[in-house]
């Protein structure tokens, strides 16, 4: 049976989630390339960012040297960036019938701010659902990575770490556990894959899940 869409718009909303270094960007690109080549309208976007306001908030919250940012302010900056992103980018694209491929969404805040920063999953979820007027993805792909492995992958690619990546392993462990709990609770919209599987193998499974929801 094809899973039901909840937002009632003609497009399909796909979010990629996972710890730092899980390879979300690679898989999001692969998916967009395939859909584009098949003539399916698709947009790729990312959080935090995707709009001029969002990009500014992104650099505020991620770059070092902005001074101290307390956890609640950080959570609200991500939620504000997301509100702009949904209103200006995601909803219009879904209304046009496009597949929206989004690098991170609400569950990143639940995991990073709710669990990582220990603000509480439910409180962060509530704030974010208000910010996005209740919009949830039709499919969330979780690329599950062990924190130590994620750190190895990141340092192999890029030597500089942002404010989140620079946090110690227990922070990233809490995030991973939270993502897995979210996936368990919303099994109907989650596809959980081990990030260390071979690139094309992962890509094939993600594509199958998307095509199933498009049919």
Q: Where does this chain bind ligand TYD (CB under 6 A)?
A: 20, 24-25, 47-48, 62, 78, 103-104, 108-109, 112-113, 162, 164-165
Nearest to 143 by CA among 187, 202, 94: 202
Closest distance to ligand TYD from the beta carbon of 112 (Å): 3
What's the min distance (Å) between Cβ of 2 and ligand TYD? 28
State which residue, 47 or 144, has the beta carbon closest to ligand TYD: 47
DSSP 46: E
**Is 150:172 a contact under the CB 8 Å cutoff?**
yes
Contact 115, 178 (CB under 8 A): yes
Toward ligand TYD, which CB reaches closer, 138 or 167? 167
Residue with Cβ nearer ligand TYD (3 or 170): 170
User: For 4, which DSSP code?
Assistant: P
Nearer to ligand TYD, 41 or 170 (CB): 170
Question: Contact 57/48 with Cβ under 8 angstroms?
Answer: yes
φ, ψ for residue 104, nearest 5 deg: 80, 145
B/e letters for 23-54, b = 16+ CB within 10 Å, e = fewer, are: bbeebbebbbebbeeeebebbbbbbbbbbeeb
CB nearer to ligand TYD: pick between 62 and 90: 62
Q: Please report how close the Cβ of residue 165 comes to ligand TYD at its closest, in angstroms.
A: 5
As measured in angstroms, the least distance from the Cβ of 136 to ligand TYD is 15
Minimum separation from the CB atom of position 1 to ligand TYD (A): 31
């Amino acid at each position: 049976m094809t899973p039901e869409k909840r937002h009632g718009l003609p497009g399909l909303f796909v979010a990629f989630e996972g710890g730092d270094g899980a390879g979300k960007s690679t898989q999001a690109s692969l998916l967009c390339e395939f859909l584009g080549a098949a003539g399916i309208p698709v947009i790729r976007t990312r959080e935090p960012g995707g709009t001029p306001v969002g990009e500014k908030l992104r650099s505020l919250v991620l770059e070092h040297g902005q001074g101290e940012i307390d956890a609640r302010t950080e959570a609200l900056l991500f939620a504000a960036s997301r509100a702009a992103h949904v209103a200006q980018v995601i909803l219009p694209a879904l209304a046009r019938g496009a597949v929206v491929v989004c690098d991170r969404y609400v569950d990143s805040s639940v995991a990073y701010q709710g669990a990582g920063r220990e603000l509480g999953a439910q409180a962060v979820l509530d704030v974010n659902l208000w910010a996005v007027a209740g919009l949830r993805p039709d499919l969330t792909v979780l690329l599950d990575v062990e924190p130590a492995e994620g750190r190895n992958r990141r340092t192999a690619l890029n030597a500089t770490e942002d404010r989140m990546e620079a946090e110690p392993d227990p922070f990233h462990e809490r995030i991973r556990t939270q993502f897995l709990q979210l996936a368990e609770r919303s099994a109907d919209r989650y596809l959980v894959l081990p990030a260390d599987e071979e690139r094309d193998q992962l890509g094939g499974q993600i594509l199958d899940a998307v095509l199933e929801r498009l049919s």
